[in-house]
Chains A and B, each alone.
Chain A
Amino acid sequence: MLLKVDNVTKTFGGVHAVRNVSFSINKGETVGLIGPNGAGKTTLLNVIVGTYKADSGKIELDGNDITTKPPYKICHLGISRTYQLPQAFWDLTAIANVAVAGLCGKHRPDMSYGDAMLEASHCLELVGLFGKRNILARDLTLYELRTLGLARALATTPRLVLIDEAMAGLNPGEALRAVKLIRRLKEEYHLTIFWIEHIMKIIMEAADRVVVLNYGEKIAEGPPKEVINNPTVVEAYLGKKHA
């Protein structure tokens, strides 16, 4: 078991963004996280990577408690993430964006600047962004920014990658390319993937297991085929009439 989330609760003022959620992710799995808008998916992800501190509950990575660790330490332990709204170092070139991640991602003070650039170029090559290495991040398109986010996540040598809506804002062709890319990276690097997604079709194909959140609570978990026929899930998405 790679990641274990145990009874995690996170509140903002009086709002329970995440309430008593527990699940676990095994090594090599692709776990999907779905739920209607405002269900607390991104909050849960932020709690896992340490951006928010959980109010109660426990998060374990390989048996180590990472609940109270700061984000950079969690990154060193092997969890990296991508963002729903693409985030980047906007005034740096694509390759510098990835090189920062390569240099900081682990404790390697002996790694030289040149080595980091080389590794970054390798990561860019993998996601198909090598040709745009000298373009500023602010000048990249949305699809390129998403792949840049993946390359940056990859450069930190993660074991678990948390993907926050990789498809948001992409057209169907680009979305297909992104799915293929994520699958290829998963196989090549033996990654474990925790994937938040809105597009049902993609998550049905890609995920081994799906966790469903609604109003911050876990309402279902299981293989995609089972979950999609679960009356509680249908109710959460479409209302009581369809359940």
Chain B
Amino acid sequence: MVKLEHKKARLVLRLGDLKLEWAIERRYWRNPLIAVSCLLVLPLLISGRADLVSLLTMASIYACIAIPLTWQITGTSRMNFGPQLFVGVGGFTAGLLGIHAGLGPWQTLPIVILVSLACALLLSPLTIIAKGLYFSLITLLLPLIFLEITYYRSDIFRGETGISGIPHLFDLGSISLNYITGCYFSIALALLFLFIVDKVMRSRLGLYAAAINDNEDVANAVGLNTNRYKVVTFCITSEMIGIAGWLMAHYYGTFAGVTYLPLIFMIKILLMVMIGGRGQLYGAVVGAYFVAFLEYFLTGIGPVHYVVFPLILLILLFILPEGLYGLYRKHRYREYYPTIKVRRKEI
């Protein structure tokens, strides 16, 4: 008979004479492999329910937007209020090419990358010219202008109804199989983005980003070319957000500016980024999944999320200005700031 007991610091499994022990240490729970394997098993468990699979996909795509955004916020030391502009750019490029030129998802991807890179390069001087509030205001207005254009030129962008009939990402015969594959693909993309940004944040580039976020003038004075760094950061992250837009267009097969470009979508993204703490990478991942699931539960009540999301954001900014990470930092001060061990150099 299997006997499972949970002692204070170890998990013991007894099966007859066989005894298996695992030490439980706190660091094991932070092992990313656990979270990754959970994410990989979850779609299989819920594969019977299409709405949940779709929800998980949506959450992963949200994460694809929130993860690069955290890097952008710290790396440019500016709060971007309009990341959905690049969702729109990526999505419309993919959609228009898909229906007019008849290109498949893999053929539109390089073009989406090029187009969003061009847009990012065009807008990147903003990170040098505009500071603080002005940068936020300009980036807030840009997607709204784009939204107006989609109404005005509804012969191209199809205004309220949006583009439909975009080729799907995978065509494997059965619909449920397509959904599951799309879900896995979105999770994989989110994990890829997480991996890239995590690597960057742990490298010297992450140190530069933290320095710029803290004090741009001093960073420049100690020899960091801040302008170049900010432009490069802005371009790479906008690029990643554009790819998230591409995924949205090809996953749903439709893309409407009215869904992704208005303010309410920005508030969702803002909530994701702020819930974990401004510019906290793992906080943004939690935030993305939280927002997607909250949205799912709120749709049962009615269209209340127009009120609820801003309200949550407001309460959050009052109660937890530093987000969940701030709470964690307050209680586990020593763990949050890991001691850097250095060998003492002989003088």
Binding site for B on A (CB under 8 A): 49, 51, 70-72, 75-76, 80-81, 83, 87-93, 95-96, 99-101, 103-106, 113, 116-118, 121-122, 125, 130, 133-134, 136, 152, 155-156
* Interchain residue pairs A-B with the least CB separation, the first 7: A75-B223, A89-B214, A104-B224, A104-B223, A101-B222, A121-B342, A105-B223
Interface size on B, residues (CB 8 A): 27
**Cα–Cα, bound, A71→B222 (Å):** 8
- B215 near A89 with CB under 8 A, answer yes
B8 at the A interface (CB under 8 A): no
Chain A residues, Cβ within 8 Å of B204: 103, 113, 116
Query: Which residue of B is nearest A122, CB measured?
Result: B345
- B208 near A117 with CB under 8 A, answer no
Q: Which of B211, B214, B342 sits near A117, CB closer than 8 Å?
A: B342
B44 at the A interface (CB under 8 A): no
Binding site for A on B (CB under 8 A): 203-204, 207-208, 210-211, 213-215, 217-226, 337, 339-340, 342-345, 347
Q: A87-B217, A88-B215, A122-B347 are in contact. List 15 more A-B contacts (CB 8 A).
A: A70-B225, A71-B220, A88-B214, A89-B210, A89-B215, A91-B213, A92-B207, A95-B340, A100-B208, A103-B204, A104-B219, A106-B223, A113-B204, A116-B204, A134-B340
**Cα–Cα, bound, A125→B343 (Å):** 12
- A134 near B339 with CB under 8 A, answer yes
**Cα–Cα, bound, A49→B213 (Å):** 22
Chain A residues, Cβ within 8 Å of B342: 95, 117-118, 121, 133
**Closest CB-CB distance, B328 to chain A, in whole Å?**
15
Chain B residues, Cβ within 8 Å of A92: 207, 210-211, 214
Q: Which of A71, A104, A106, A125 sits near B208, CB closer than 8 Å?
A: A104
**Cα–Cα, bound, A90→B218 (Å):** 11
Q: Which of A70, A88, A93 sits near B220, CB closer than 8 Å?
A: A70
Given contacts A92-B210, A121-B344, A121-B345, contact A104 B215 (CB under 8 A): no
Chain B residues, Cβ within 8 Å of A95: 340, 342
Query: Which residue of A is nearest B334, CB measured?
Result: A134
Chain A residues, Cβ within 8 Å of B223: 72, 75-76, 101, 104-106, 156
- A91 near B222 with CB under 8 A, answer no
**Closest CB-CB distance, A90 to chain B, in whole Å?**
6
**Cα–Cα, bound, A118→B213 (Å):** 24
- B207 near A103 with CB under 8 A, answer yes
- B222 near A105 with CB under 8 A, answer yes
**Cα–Cα, bound, A103→B222 (Å):** 9
**Closest CB-CB distance, B265 to chain A, in whole Å?**
30
Q: Which of A113, A130, A136 sits near B203, CB closer than 8 Å?
A: A113
Chain A residues, Cβ within 8 Å of B221: 49, 51, 71-72, 75, 80-81
